Structures are given as C-alpha cells and as structure tokens.
C-alpha cells in the first residue's frame, strides 16, 4: 500500500518547474511580521494551460519542539484558459503564487506543497530562525 509521504516529489526548483519556491528571510526578530511568497514556475515557467496546470499550493509552519505543523494557508488556482468555447480559448490564466504575512515567537520550518494535475504533488521547505 502506498504512503502519502512517498507521493511527494522534490527537486531543485531552479531545474524543475513543479517545485514550490519559498521566498522568505532566513532570520527575523521575535514578534516581527514575516512576509512569505510561495510560487511555482519561478525559474522555469509552468504552462498553466487547461491541460497542464497547478491546481493549488498549501503552506505549513512547524515550530521547533512542536509535534504538529500549523496550516498557514491554501490557495486554489482555477483559471487555466478554459471557457465555453473550449480549452485554452479564454484570456484568463492563473499565475501560481501566493503571498502572506505571519508572526512567530519560535524558529522552525516552512513547508510548501503544490499539486500539478498531470505530475502530482511537489514539496519544498525552508528553515526560519527567530532571534
């Protein structure tokens, strides 16, 4: 039987267009607001067409010494050029990117997971130090 962790793929986002890229500072001061941008296709553009697109991105934060992560946010992307006239006939295409701000008192790890309708689940993580 398959396990969910075995379905999460990872690679260097500079060479693989499906990996979510987490942009955030490496260090912040305790109580300081942290701006995070998560996107797919930063270095190599993802097609985001009716046939091949990123459906969603989820972001989690696991604080040091805690057992479970906090879900920070989820964004669904629903405009992929499809319309009543057929695939890729609309002028509306979604760019897979989300921005959020959080505050934390603890260091930890940001995790991002994205879902491509053809190539499945992709993950990435980034350490965050709180001073």
Query: Which residue is catalytic, options 42, 53, 58, 116?
Result: 116
pLDDT of residue 50: 94
- Kindly name the residue from 30, 52, 95, 129 that is annotated as catalytic: 52
User: For residue 75, what are the β-bridge partners?
Assistant: 57
- Please tell me the distance from the alpha carbon of residue 105 to that of residue 129, in angstroms, as a whole number: 10
Q: Tokens 């992929």, residue? A: 80
The mean pLDDT of 20-49, rounded to a whole number, is: 94
Q: Which pLDDT tens digit goes with each residue over 47-95? A: 999 999 999 999 999 999 999 999 999 999 999 999 999 999 999 999 9
In the prediction, which pLDDT does 1 show?
79
Chain position carrying tokens 């629903």:
78
Element (H, E) at 39: strand 34-40
pTM: predicted TM-score of the whole model, two decimal places: 0.92
Q: Is 17 a catalytic residue?
A: yes
- Residue 46 appears among annotated catalytic residues: yes
- Of 95, 25, 16, 110, the closest CA to residue 63 belongs to 110
pLDDT category of residue 31 using cuts at 50, 70 and 90: confident
Q: Quick one: what percent of the chain has pLDDT higher than 90? A: 86
Report residue 33 as tokens. 């607001």
Catalytic residue among 42, 46, 53, 80: 46
CA neighbor of 68 nearest in space, from 8, 22, 111, 131: 111
Domains and CATH numbers, the chain: 4-130 (2.60.40.730)
Ramachandran region, residue 41 (left: φ > 0; alpha: ψ -120 to 50; beta: rest): left
Question: Can you tell me the mean pLDDT for 13-39?
Answer: 94
């Amino acid at each position: 039987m398959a396990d969910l962790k075995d379905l999460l793929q990872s690679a260097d986002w500079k060479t693989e267009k499906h990996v979510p890229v987490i942009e955030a500072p490496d260090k912040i001061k305790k109580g300081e607001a942290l701006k995070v941008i998560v996107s797919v296709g930063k270095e190599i553009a993802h097609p985001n067409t009716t046939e091949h697109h990123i459906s969603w991105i989820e972001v989690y934060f696991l604080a040091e010494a805690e057992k479970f992560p906090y879900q920070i946010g989820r964004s669904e992307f629903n405009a992929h050029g499809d319309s009543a006239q057929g695939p890729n006939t609309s002028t509306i295409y979604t760019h897979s990117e989300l921005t959020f701000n959080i505050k934390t008192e603890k260091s930890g790890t940001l995790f991002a997971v994205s879902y491509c309708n053809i190539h499945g689940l992709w993950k990435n993580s980034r350490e965050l130090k709180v001073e």
